[in-house]
Structure formats: structure tokens, C-alpha cells
Chain A
Amino acid sequence: MPVYERGYRHWEHSGHRARAPWWAIARRGIAEPLKSRRLLFLLAVAWVPAIVKGGILYFTFQMGELSRLIGGKWTDIGPRGFLTYLGWQSPFVLILLAIVGSGLISRDRRENGLALYLSRPLGVRDYVLGKGAVVMFYYFAVTLLPVWALCLFGYLVTSGATGLQMLLLIPLQALAYCLVTGAGFTLVLLALSSVGQRTVFVALWWVLLYAGTDGLAKIMSLFSPALEILNFPGQFLNAGIVFFGGEPLCEVPPAASLLVVVAYALLGAWVLRRRIKPVEVVA
């Protein structure tokens, strides 16, 4: 029988995409860095401030006002105190995301992985979602998870209104804050990763954006406090006031900082939209 009359026995177009293809990408992306002992050590170190914060919580509950007199704002056990804790985590966010996020897309571009991914039943959105989930996982690992753990600890060692705040309000505030800022960080980092092919350069750009703008804004704000808006991580932290309440951390209104975060996220998404293609064509 001629081959063209045989047809193909498997043909049955379902029209369905693969089931949650982003999860396959995310799973591989999350598992890979965990093979590194150095990264596990860094993750462990990133939880040290949480242990300190846990100690503060415990002594504050035990000692009441006395602890506040000794420790000042460091002993704030309200929502604003948790934002301060998230500020402590900033260096870990910088380093950890540089390590796990810089190569996520740049490596695929260098190794022609985009053609392999996008010749499967998944779209660019699934791909970005999968890669983004990797960044979000590690971001949450050093921000949201410790906050939740602390809240649980706080709930167990205290009672009454404070306990309820620990059990419900602060975890939800932290979730909302971490989702927004995590999405912002993720999209910016993935956008940087999609621009370069050398992971080390992407990491360098990330550090420059994160730490460089922090330093630069601090100098510039000597001339005009409003220039604090140039501070990339500073704006992410200041936006936390919208979620946790309290006094702004700089001269920039928290709502404006939140808008800056959203603008960064949109810019990142725009770059990704333009950069992620199955094949790169040099005209």
C-alpha cells in the first residue's frame, strides 16, 4: 500500500494545550538551583533575620512596654514591624534573585531553548509564567514564608487581638504585598534575562539596578528628596506602606511608589513580549 494511503494511526486533534505546561517549566527551574549547597546555605542564612525577629516577638510579648523602651521601633510587632522585617530581607532578595533568575531566559536564548519550548503545545505566556514562578518561589522563600512562619509563631505565643492580627491580618497583608512586589521584581528580572545571553551580565545589570539605584538615589536625594523615586528597591519597600500602613519610608508618597512598581512590571512585560520568540531572526 502506498504510504500516502496509510494515513497516520494517531491523528486525533483534540485542540487542547498541554496541561499546565508552565508547571513543568517551573518545577525544573525550582529544582535545579536546589542542587547547589551554596544556594541552600544562602537560603538558610536568609532565615536568620526571621529567627531574630522571632526572638523580638517573643520578648516583646513577654516584656511588654519594657521591650519597646529598650528596642524602639525594632520591637514593633504590628504590621509596620513586618514591613521593616521585609526591608531587612532586601539584600537576600538581591543576591538570591540574581543567582536563580539571571539565567532563566538568557540561558534558553543562548542554548536555543526557546525553539524547543515553543515548538510544544504552550504559548509565550505559559513560558513566562513558568519562568516567573521560579523567581516568585525563591522570592517568597525569603519574604512571605518567613513572615507567615513568624505570624504563626506570634499567634502561638500571644493571645487576644494581637493573636488574631497575627493569624489573619498580617499574613494577608504580606501576601498582597509580596504578590505585587514579587510580580514586579519577577517581570523586571525576566526582562533583563531576556535581553542578554550571558547570565553573568544579566546578574550584573540586576545588581546595578537594585543596589546601584539605591546608592545613587541616596546621593541624589541630598539635592531633592523627591529623587528618592529613582531608588528601585526603595520604591518597592515604600509601596509596602499601602499594604501595611504607617509613615512613608521616604519623601515619595506610598501610592506613587506603588505606581512605580506597577510601571516597572508593565515595562518588564512589554520587554518580554518583544523578546520572547521561538527563533531569533537577524534580518
Chain B
Amino acid sequence: MNVAPTTVAPAAVLRAERVSKWFGEVIAVNDCTLALGPGVTGLLGLNGAGKTTLFKMLSGLITPSQGEVLIRGHRLRRDVGLFRHVGFCPESDALFDWLTGREFLMLMVRLMGYDGTEVAARSERALELVHLGDAADRRIGAYSKGMRQKIKMAQALAHDPEIVFLDEPLNGMDPVSRREIVALVQRLGDEGRCVVVSSHILPEIETMTRSIVLIHRGKLMAEGDITEIRDAIHDRPTIVALTSTEPRRLASSLAGRDLVRGVEIDEFGRVVARTDHAVNFYRELPGWLLAESLPVDEIETLDDNLQAVFDYLVGG
């Protein structure tokens, strides 16, 4: 099942135009076109779907076999100066273990071309940003997995990039650090940066964004807001649960509507309605309830979450 991209980012910062990548006879990514604007976007896919290859092409680490990756119209690999505007946080935990966190960060910032004072100031700011100031002068070799994750984040953000690529950013983090990093990622998106997060842990992505790019078997399967994508999956009705003090009256009222495919009352006493057009359903629902004075305490969509969308699309 393919879902056409539902939205195109209005001010695309990062654009992939018909990119493909093959390794020998294996096609990892096949003819993907997408445009990403400011905000956080989750890049999703099963293992082997081509997610990592697409991520690395977008971040300029792999040159596409065909097609182009453009940042504001400039070709990334051809113009390495563009990397000034890109922050990249790799998945791998292996870092320069023989350096202290501060030395590592200063080296990474210096490579951006800043002079000594600026290097020190930016490194300090980045350390504070990820709450790693206290451990800055310890060798990275002695860092925990979560601290490594943070120092990787710090090096990706120290030069204040417009586009940030985060590969599995919450790997190995404790719950507190996880919350801090999720908040940081959301803030980056709110500031208007284009943040691309790659992860195979769906709840992780869902805590950061509702905007996703889904790749399956090397092809771009869906792009846009989770709810909009869910709504575009016509062969799977959206399931809406309504909690009411008068479930039977509510169920019979909904049963006769054109937008409702089926209604039942579940074991919790909730009215569970199935609709093929969730957006229209939600638009009409308040009118129906008011017209018949139907009491409703809570409305919940049971399958417009990322896991459900992902399962529907890739058959997981």
C-alpha cells in the first residue's frame, strides 16, 4: 500500500530529488523525492528498509547513485561549505575515547573554522546545553552510554546549525536524560531548525514529533503528519472510542450516519466507531452530539498513533 505524500513542507530547507542508491546489485533506496522544512521530522523504517542509507544521503555522508540532495538549492557533497549549516549526530557510540569531552568538542568546533575564543565559548555553551559541564574534563573513554550520546549531541549543535541530523539520539539514555533530550529536540524544531531524527523505536519518535517520513523496501511510503497519513489510509477505517454516560443511545445515533462504517460497545463500556473519513467525522461529530444532546466525556482515536500507522503501512 502506498500513501502519496500528504504535505510538502512550505519552506523546504532540505530537498532530495529522485535520489537512489545502490550497492552492487542491491538497491538500498529507490527514487525518493522529499522536501523537509523547519521542525522535527522522524525518519522511520524497518531494519534494511533503506532508512540509514537515506539518512546518510540526506546528511551528505553518502553520495546518491542517482538524483540530488539539496540544501536551499545547493548540492551538499559538491559544496562542503554547506556543512557549516549542518549538525550530524551519529548513531555509533564509538568516539575519540582518548580525549576529554571538552577537547573533543573543541576539536569538532574548531573544524567549523572558528577562532580560539569562539571555539571555547561555543564548546562551553554546547556542554551546558546537554548538561555535561561537570564531566567535561573527563576522558570520553570513561563516559557512560548516555553521556556519550550527550557529547555527540553537543558536537552536532555547538555551531548552531540550521539542519540537524540525529541518528538514534536516545540510545542508552536514562529516563531523565531522555526527557531532557526530547525537550531539546522539540525546542530545536520550535526554533525553526530542520531536525531529522532517525529511529526504529516508534514511541521515541512520537515523543518528539508528529511529522514523519516512512521508508519501506527502499521506497518512500509516506510523508507528512501522522494523523493526515492515517486519514489517507482508506482501506483501514479509523477507530474512535467515545466515553459516554449513555453509550447505547450514542451508539444507535452514530450507527445510522454515512461517515460511520460500524459501531460497537467495547468491554470498557466505550462506544467504538469506525470511520473511513476521520477528518470529516471529527468535523461533523460536535453537531451530531449537540443536536441529540448526547453526553460525551472523552474522545480518543485508537489507531492514529505512529505504531498503528506504521503497522498499517508496512504490515508490521
Q: Known contacts being A11-B72, A119-B60, is A24 close to B110, with CB within 8 Å?
A: yes
Chain B residues with CB under 8 A of A278: 56, 60-62
Question: Does A223 lie at the interface of the complex (its beta carbon under 8 Å from any beta carbon of B)?
Answer: no
Contact for B108 among A5, A112, A116, CB less than 8 A: A116
- Expressed in whole angstroms, the minimum distance between the Cβ of A5 and any Cβ of chain B is 7
Q: Known contacts being A8-B191, A10-B162, A115-B61, is A15 close to B113, with CB within 8 Å?
A: no
Number of residues of chain A lying within 8 A (CB) of chain B = 38
- Expressed in whole angstroms, the minimum distance between the Cβ of A224 and any Cβ of chain B is 44
- Expressed in whole angstroms, the minimum distance between the Cβ of A99 and any Cβ of chain B is 14
Q: Known contacts being A11-B162, A13-B82, is A113 close to B96, with CB within 8 Å?
A: yes
Within B74-120, the residues touching A (CB, 8 Å) are 74, 79-86, 88, 90, 92, 94-98, 103, 107-108, 110-113
Which residue on B lies nearest to A18, using beta carbons? B113
Known: A117-B111, A121-B84, A283-B26. 4 other contacts (CB 8 A): A3-B192, A7-B38, A25-B111, A116-B155
Question: Does B255 lie at the interface of the complex (its beta carbon under 8 Å from any beta carbon of A)?
Answer: no
Which residue on A lies nearest to B93, using beta carbons? A112
What are 5 A-to-B residue pairs whose CB atoms are below 8 Å? Answer: A6-B192, A8-B162, A18-B111, A112-B90, A281-B62
Contact for B83 among A7, A32, A119, CB less than 8 A: A119
Question: Does B64 lie at the interface of the complex (its beta carbon under 8 Å from any beta carbon of A)?
Answer: no
- Complex: how many Å from CA A5 to CA B39? 10
Chain A residues with CB under 8 A of B268: none
- Complex: how many Å from CA A11 to CA B62? 24
Question: Does B315 lie at the interface of the complex (its beta carbon under 8 Å from any beta carbon of A)?
Answer: no
B interface list, Cβ under 8 A from A:
9-11, 13, 23-24, 26, 37-39, 53, 56, 59-62, 71-72, 74, 79-86, 88, 90, 92, 94-98, 103, 107-108, 110-113, 155, 160, 162, 189-194
Chain A residues with CB under 8 A of B83: 119-122
- Expressed in whole angstroms, the minimum distance between the Cβ of B288 and any Cβ of chain A is 30
Q: Which one of B38, B85, B192 has the highest number of Cβ atoms from chain A below 10 Å of its Cβ?
A: B192
- Complex: how many Å from CA A122 to CA B81? 7
Give the top 6 A-B pairs by smallest Cβ distance, nearest first.
A18-B113, A283-B23, A119-B88, A6-B192, A278-B61, A24-B110
- Complex: how many Å from CA A112 to CA B71? 25
Q: Known contacts being A4-B38, A8-B193, is A111 close to B97, with CB within 8 Å?
A: yes
Q: Which one of A13, A16, A120, A281 has the highest number of Cβ atoms from chain B below 10 Å of its Cβ?
A: A120
Contacting pair B26 A121 (CB below 8 A) = no
Contacting pair A111 B94 (CB below 8 A) = yes
- Complex: how many Å from CA A25 to CA B160? 21
A7-43 interface bits toward B, Cβ cutoff 8 Å, 1 = contact, 0 = none: 1111101111111010011001000100000000000
Question: Does A195 lie at the interface of the complex (its beta carbon under 8 Å from any beta carbon of B)?
Answer: no
A101-120 interface bits toward B, Cβ cutoff 8 Å, 1 = contact, 0 = none: 00000000011110111111
- Complex: how many Å from CA A281 to CA B97? 23
- Complex: how many Å from CA A6 to CA B11? 10
Question: Does A279 lie at the interface of the complex (its beta carbon under 8 Å from any beta carbon of B)?
Answer: yes
Contacting pair B192 A119 (CB below 8 A) = no
- Expressed in whole angstroms, the minimum distance between the Cβ of A52 and any Cβ of chain B is 36
Q: Is the interface of B mostly helix, strand, loop or mixed?
A: loop
Contacting pair A119 B162 (CB below 8 A) = no
Which residue on B lies nearest to A24, using beta carbons? B110
Contacting pair A3 B112 (CB below 8 A) = no
- Expressed in whole angstroms, the minimum distance between the Cβ of B61 and any Cβ of chain A is 4
Contact for A4 among B39, B84, B111, CB less than 8 A: B39
- Complex: how many Å from CA A119 to CA B189? 21
- Complex: how many Å from CA A5 to CA B9? 10
- Complex: how many Å from CA A246 to CA B308? 82
Within A116-166, the residues touching B (CB, 8 Å) are 116-123
- Complex: how many Å from CA A115 to CA B110? 16
- Complex: how many Å from CA A60 to CA B38? 75
A92-105 interface bits toward B, Cβ cutoff 8 Å, 1 = contact, 0 = none: 00000000000000
- Complex: how many Å from CA A19 to CA B90? 24
- Complex: how many Å from CA A17 to CA B74? 14
Contacting pair A123 B80 (CB below 8 A) = yes
Contacting pair A119 B86 (CB below 8 A) = yes
Contacting pair B95 A121 (CB below 8 A) = no
Chain A residues with CB under 8 A of B194: 8
Q: Which one of B62, B85, B189 has the highest number of Cβ atoms from chain A below 10 Å of its Cβ?
A: B85
- Expressed in whole angstroms, the minimum distance between the Cβ of B180 and any Cβ of chain A is 21
Q: Known contacts being A7-B11, A11-B72, A279-B62, is A121 close to B107, with CB within 8 Å?
A: no
Contact for A18 among B10, B84, B162, B193, CB less than 8 A: B84
Chain B residues with CB under 8 A of A8: 13, 38, 162, 191-194
- Complex: how many Å from CA A11 to CA B160? 10
Within A237-283, the residues touching B (CB, 8 Å) are 278-279, 281, 283
Q: Known contacts being A112-B92, A119-B83, A283-B26, is A17 close to B113, with CB within 8 Å?
A: yes
Chain B residues with CB under 8 A of A279: 56, 61-62
Contacting pair B96 A111 (CB below 8 A) = yes
- Expressed in whole angstroms, the minimum distance between the Cβ of B210 and any Cβ of chain A is 12
Chain A residues with CB under 8 A of B37: 4
